[in-house]
Chain A
Amino acid sequence: MIDFKKYNLDNGLRILIHEDCSTPLVAMNIIYDVGSRDEDPEMTGMAHLFEHLMFGGSQNIPDFDTPLQMAGADNNAFTNNDITNYYLTIPANNLQIGFWLESDRMLGLSFSEEVLEIQKKIVIEEYKQRYLNQPYGDIMLLLRPLVYKVHPYLWAAIGKDISHIEKVTMTDVKDFFFSHYAPNNAILSVAGNIKNHEDVISLAKKWFGPISRREIAVRKLAMEPVQKEERITEVEKDVPSDVLVKAWHICRRTEKDFYTMDLLTDILAGGESGRLYSSLVRDKKLFSDINAYLAGELDPGLLIINGKLMDGISFQAAEEAVKEVIEDLKKIAVPDPEIEKVKNKFESSMVFSNTNVLNKAMNLCFYELLGDANEVNQEVKLYNRVNPEMVMIAAKKYLQPDNCSSLHYKSKKSVK
């Protein structure tokens, strides 16, 4: 249970405050409601590049990081397809430093050409390090355009191509800032050693209050048409073993089915006792490892299975074995103890996550973005409502071959 207070500023900034005095620290989290889905298809990777620029100095403060280090704080950020999330933890007595810095970069950036050029280089090295120079690092770069044909989820947050990052200009940067970064497009949470909520609200009013609302670019995303036939693509790369990746379109994050699909995913792959591991790794020895997860997007997202084939196993045998596990979910109701197992696992993940004020701050912001921060405390209930029949119905609804895309990521060395 995360007990919190909500407060709205006149400029549209929403603020969530949670007190936990078991720590000397305070976590501060800001979500900007902008991700790679909001990018121009010809300038992908912009939201993520922008995240880097946010650390390159703001309107009145030339250096973002040094004052935080002086205050004993730690900070970072991430960008995904839906959101850009900035966070820091700071000793409670220096909380104002966090407000000073975060509000100034919401007000305006330094917009320095030099910073832009350097950060472009760094992001290009990041692209190489994380996606191109790692075995299997490009799986999502290959899978997304197979699964999505029109929705901007068809590119990854890092961008479609390095050339998109190279050509970004300062005009693009300013346009992006003023159409997405604004108090009325952000949610702030403050969690931790807060003796008095009123103090936090006054800090918020003082530092964020004077920032004017901005006109936010209207989000007009192309809806992905229903997939009507199975898609399979094959690539051959210099990797040690074959990998099978399968993705099915599922519901939006805010639909009730999401919780059913999340538990269904845990039945498939929640720990080593999950069905995929138990049957395909342990019993049949077809895969050396196999996992399933929800990609967690806000718009209709994906259930992804990713498995590494044992040497000498064909893609056909692997596909058939995965299919059998999936078909089972549609034919036979999941036994009660198995449902109980995945619910228990969810419950303990929640409790463990709540030991950390930064996790709590992030969760509050994220649920507020979904519609209502209160929902963070309803999760356990929503998961507990799921029963074997709902799992079976959801499996039949989403896990159809016509709704599936498969990537056969083949090792150049494999001789079959």
Chain B
Amino acid sequence: MKIQEADAKSLLLAQGLPVPAWEVAHTADEARLSAERFFAGGAQQVVIKAQVLVGGRGKAGGVKLAGFPDQAELIASAILGMDIKGITVRKVLVAAAADIVKEFYMSAVLDRAAGRILLMGSAEGGVEIEQVAASNPGAIVRVHADPLLGLLDFQARQFAFAMGLGAHLKAAVAIARGLVATMLANDADLVEINPLAIVRETDVAGTTVERLVCLDAKITLDDSGLPRHPDLETLRDPDDEAPADREAREAGLTFIKLDGTIGCMVNGAGLAMTTMDLVKRAGGEPANFLDIGGGARADRVAAAMRIILADPKVNAILVNIFGGITRGDEVARGLIEARAVQERGVPMIVRIVGTNAAEAAALLEQARLTTATTLDEAATKAVAASRQAGAAA
């Protein structure tokens, strides 16, 4: 699950990382009031940033500077409601514009190949890390946290020196450790600060000081960790999720909508992808990826059916279940129940093999559902049914 910049910054702050103050505004009025507070606090300019979960918001015009409160209001009213890659901006972040001396990149990420937490840093901040990796891979510093002890102090020091942050060693070490701490505290699989920046600030005595701070933050959370962080669930951005996706998630299903006409209901991610691949190979277009998960019972099957049929383009359904931990008869029962209450009639091809397949076959036969033996046969039948339905429409 992705969360917005302002929420990511709150999680960093909770671990003691240096994040300059910000406010979130939902209206241009609120943005103006926020800007007034920052100007009163001595800011020369404020930055107004669209809060959307897509990259490239700066290029899309979603990040702008304002020199006085009226201008902040004007900019906020332009950004709020703006469409960035199909997502409407509903919130903006307002903060004092930083006087940046130098920008860096720092992130902590789950490295699946190594099975460890990987800390990455680069002195080329403000640029996407993929770009640095492609153009100047030597500029990226990497260190793996110890799998049992976490990131050790000496590792953090080596990392900070290698990034060229020797002049800000204490702060850099604290931030590196803070990224790993933020990951662990929230079950995040990515915590990214880009840019991490040395900024010039004037302290209370009027002296200019340089300080290392987190100017932007991006965090993605491990979905498997969310059940033990109910507070983080409230950070889910409703715009990041279509209604069908939400219903699927709440029912314990994994659903990804595609553009085709053949609804797919499958158990297991690999088999679900394979089912889509074979529908395509048979000349059809899958309408979705849908994994009902392991051990699905009748109610989850019924929810899956509702979600598939909610897509008006779906004109045929292919159910492919290979029972292991999932029992075929449970799925068959769910299909028959869902069939009895479904609002529109769509041809359905059912293939159930594996655990309790014989019991499932008897139930399906009794209910007169169209069945198939092999996956290739099921895909071919589903494509034919979809073509027929398409021609009739």
Say whether A associates with B.
Answer: no
Interface on B for A, CB 8 Å cutoff?
none
Interface on A for B, CB 8 Å cutoff?
none
